[in-house]
Structure 1
Amino acid sequence: MLKKMKKKAMLATIAAAMTLSLNTNVFAKQINTQPTSYQTVTQIEDWGAATTKVIVNVGKPIPKNSVTTDTFKVHVARSDQRLKKPFLGEGDRTITKAYVADKDGNPVVQTGKYVVLEMKIGPTDSLGSPLNYDWATTGFNDWVDMNYTITQQRDIETSAGTISGLVVDQFAGETRELVDDFSTGKGTYDNVSLSYADFSPKTDNHKNPLIIWLHGAGEGGTDPTIPISANKAANFASKDIQSKFDGAYVLAPQTPTFWMDGLKGFGDGTSKYENALMSLIKEYVANHKDVDTSRIYIGGDSNGGYMTMLMARDYTNYFAAAFPTCEALKDTLITDTQIQKMKDLPMWLIAAKTDPVVKTTDYIEPTYQRLVDAGAKNVHESLFDKVVDTSGLYKNADGTPYEYNGHWSWIYVYNNVPTDTINGKTTHIMEWLAAQTNPNTK
């Protein structure tokens, strides 16, 4: 019995020694990291803003191939402080790609202190949206609180040791692609204040046109980044669209309420913001001597399409062209005299037949036909059957392109989809727009 007990004790000692031997190196190589943090990256997609990636500062240099999509878990909680019950929801984001990067999120050649976690996004993925449309109370979109927690799931091996157990929840800032290329400002005219976002092209050796875009009903307020983010209006500053104009200024004014707030009633064919808007535009042009005053274009969607029609009607000779989208100025509010005046302004109207908000049979269709009948020689209409994804990335369950709300025809404009046959050639809306000049300017 004594011999057996001694033998067991010896075996236990040997086993313990072996375990200690095996684990000593691990314990010795476990390293501490400096304070960690994360940054978010937001892109503007067809349906609005989406947080596409987080850039995690892991606190120590790690090798290029030391992380995979399983290394971290990304959890987010969303809340909107405008609401009585701010909490919107929470959950884990799906990581689609992971790689070691520099502080700007660029993949490294050897080592880096940062890890980029790219995440799945989509038009129905609310967890990825840094915006919330508060339709019930304010009627506006706004940025929400996005609290991320990035939790390490697998060890990261480095030449200095092993990194494990990281929990990263310290927010270190956000990048909003394209949106950050805009400046913001505010102007007050006869006690009416309008905020705005604007983009300036690179300095060149020629004057540049000005694209004015008027937002929809959900983008009013006092944060001018909303009108270029809640839809895809920031895309007017993209390399692709800018190349069509050889560089263009972009001005996106914002009303504190709705462009359709009329002098007597909502959508009555007037706007209490019209004079202020024109004053803002003229002031902006005066302050930017590089603007080509013969190439000032105005467009807008829905509520902003309404305002575009008012500006085209009342300041016809000021603009080189107008491109109202799902415009909300009812045809019955446009007189024959106004049609005669507007027929000489180059115009491209866009909408979808499935629009549940602005019925095309009461708005774009009769107005377009009246312009044609009046002799308009440079008026175009893009009346789509419906609004669908054009990227090929998002599909319905049956494999067909994902279908958006029929009111969202602005998606086609931002992506330069509308076409017409002009002088025997298929021409896209942005190429057409860039070619228009105002004969009324000197």
Structure 2
Amino acid sequence: MNSRYLKLSAVAAVAALAAACGSRPRTSNAIDNISIGIQGYEFGPAVSKVILNLKEPVSSLDTSKAKLLTAGVERAISKSYLSDAEGKAVKEGQSSDYATLELQVNYSFEDPSGNASPFHYNLSTLMNEWAPSYPVSVNNLVVDHQQALSKEADAINHRVSAELAAFTKRDSYSGSYTNPLTQQKEKLTLNYAAYEPKQLKKGAKNPLLIWLHGQGEGGTDTDITLLGNEVTALVRDDIQQHFTAADDRKESGAYVLAVQTPTYWMDEGDGTNGAGAGVSRYTEILMDTIKAYVQSNPDIDSSRIYLAGCSNGGYMTLNLALHYPDYFAALVPQATAYSYYSFERNPDGTYKKTADQTAGSAGFVKDGGLYFDEEKIKTLSALPIWFVHAANDQIVQPSDYALPVYKALVDSGADNKWFSYYESVPSADVDGVDYLGHWSWIYFFNDQVGGVQDVEKVKNSPALTGFAASNAEKGGPAAATVGGQSYTNVFDWLNSQHK
């Protein structure tokens, strides 16, 4: 018997044995592309998963020896499964050419380099942006028990987020307006994103909650607005369930509209962040944007339009309401930068500044007068307002902003005015993390705003001594009480406010 025949027989025997054992030859599978799954957290966005597009479908994954890095940071894989292109798991036993690796999300305020954030903070504009690149490296991902796959790719332009996708309406509004500083006409455009649940359109009219972002979330990409502050939390069930339709208490939910300014809400016309003691250049266009959106959606209950915002957006919440006090049903200004005091100005109307640019002063110089005067108090007297602030806020110091503004309102006899005042802002997502005191809006998005300050104590105490910050009491020892009804949740209170 010749050697060639023996070799062919051996090959045939091996093939027969492989077939009998149910195995198959190795394939040339590979990872074609990598996407990153983005989720909103109280500290901002994070990459909570990676989605791998495979060259060929597979039936199993093994991550026991896999190593994964995002933005140069090694990440722990908490879960893996076959999925669709959006990262949703397929049915058990079903093969797929997509695999999703869920990641453990960590956060450090002191050492942000390890956070692997997809955001980059631009120090020249003081705004968040998407990182210019986001490298992802996957090594030794075993598929079908036999082949180890590896891949490196820049995934910054391959982003997936079910939370962002929930904001189905994306649009803009443009118009020509008079600049309050230069008195010249200028063309302005505001972008916006809206959450419009289909099930709401089938029933009674529903409320609208408008969100105005902080300093870092301006620009032209509304995803930055939705993720820089955790606006995505407003569409989650735990918050949506607080809102009910006008004539059907069994139907829950609210529309959410997030509007974005190209610069800052506190921009009074020169493109810079003001002191909160003037009129925003976006006052008229913001109101026109809101009206146009409401008009385009007949399901919105025009008697229950609520306005909320943080920092810059907290300023704009009060500024807009002062110009259009009859439009809104209630306000929730948070860490509001609307100033109680007025400041010195240059001949051209811009603010005078000193060399002191430390947090909380920004170099602005008080001129000894009050900006929140009797006329403003009278204008807001009948409008329901619930303030949120933290005592250790060093960026927008409460003693110059929210505290005296609130005291002036309640001292005047205005009712349905509430203040949740916290000592500090600890994390609810990450153990042992304390955020900047300025980030008091986190309580709002975590659905933790409940207790309020004792109104009578605030009124009857000299200066600002009647305020008592409290984390344990969720902002204060009292409950917001309107018409004999007490509220221990800001969203329940909002839902009951009608114009």
TM-score by length of 2: 0.73
Mapped partners of 1:167, 1:258: distance in 2: 40
Contact 2:31 2:150 in 1 (8 A): no
Mapped partners of 2:38, 2:149: distance in 1: 27
Is 2:302 the counterpart of 1:293?
yes
Contact 1:150 1:169 in 2 (8 A): no
Question: Which secondary structure does the structure 1 equivalent of 2:428 belong to?
Answer: coil
Change (3 A) 1:206 1:425: same
Contact 1:55 1:105 in 2 (8 A): no
Aligned equivalent of 2:34: 38
Give the superposition deviation at 1:127.
4.3
Please report the RMSD computed on the Cα atoms of aligned residues, expressed in angstroms.
Answer: 2.6
Q: Which amino acid aligns with 2:331?
A: A
Give the superposition deviation at 1:116.
2.0
Identify which of 90, 93, 97 aligns with 1:110: 93
Contact 1:207 1:292 in 2 (8 A): yes
Q: Which runs of 5+ in 1 are unaligned?
A: 1-16, 78-89, 397-401
Report matched runs for 1:13-162 at 5 Å. 29-33=25-29, 36-64=32-60, 66-68=61-63, 70-77=64-71, 90-103=72-85, 104-106=87-89, 108-113=91-96, 114-124=98-108, 126-134=114-122, 136-144=123-131, 145-152=133-140, 155-158=142-145, 162=146
Question: Which secondary structure does the structure 2 equivalent of 1:178 belong to?
Answer: helix
Identify which of 158, 162, 166 aligns with 1:181: 166
Give the superposition deviation at 1:286.
1.4
Q: Which runs of 5+ in 2 are unaligned?
A: 1-9, 177-186, 244-251, 342-370, 452-478
Identify which of 434, 453, 458 aligns with 1:403: 434
Contact 1:372 1:379 in 2 (8 A): yes
Identify which of 209, 213, 216 aligns with 1:211: 209
Once the two structures are superposed, what CA deviation does each residue of 1:309-349 show, in whole Å capped at 9, x if it has no partner?
Answer: 11122211110000000000111211112112212100000
Aligned equivalent of 2:228: 230
Change (3 A) 1:345 1:60: same
Aligned equivalent of 1:280: 289
Mapped partners of 2:282, 2:414: distance in 1: 28
Contact 2:81 2:89 in 1 (8 A): no
TM-score by length of 1: 0.82
Give the superposition deviation at 1:111.
4.2
Aligned equivalent of 1:428: 489
Aligned equivalent of 2:379: 341
Aligned equivalent of 2:407: 369
Question: Which secondary structure does the structure 2 equivalent of 1:380 belong to?
Answer: strand
Mapped partners of 1:72, 1:374: distance in 2: 65
Mapped partners of 1:237, 1:382: distance in 2: 23
Q: Which amino acid aligns with 2:135?
A: N
Aligned equivalent of 2:267: 261
Structure 1 stretches of 4+ with a deviation exceeding 6 A read 24-28
Once the two structures are superposed, what CA deviation does each residue of 1:49-95 show, in whole Å capped at 9, x if it has no partner?
Answer: 1110012234444445x413x34222233xxxxxxxxxxxx232222
Change (3 A) 1:364 1:63: same
Give the superposition deviation at 1:262.
1.6
Contact 1:306 1:329 in 2 (8 A): yes
Mapped partners of 1:255, 1:437: distance in 2: 27
Mapped partners of 1:57, 1:316: distance in 2: 52
Moved more, 240-249 or 215-224: 240-249
Identity of aligned residues (%): 33
Contact 2:137 2:150 in 1 (8 A): no
Mapped partners of 2:147, 2:90: distance in 1: 20
Contact 1:76 1:127 in 2 (8 A): no
Change (3 A) 1:51 1:282: same
The total of aligned residue pairs comes to: 393
Mapped partners of 1:105, 1:175: distance in 2: 11
Give the superposition deviation at 1:382.
0.4
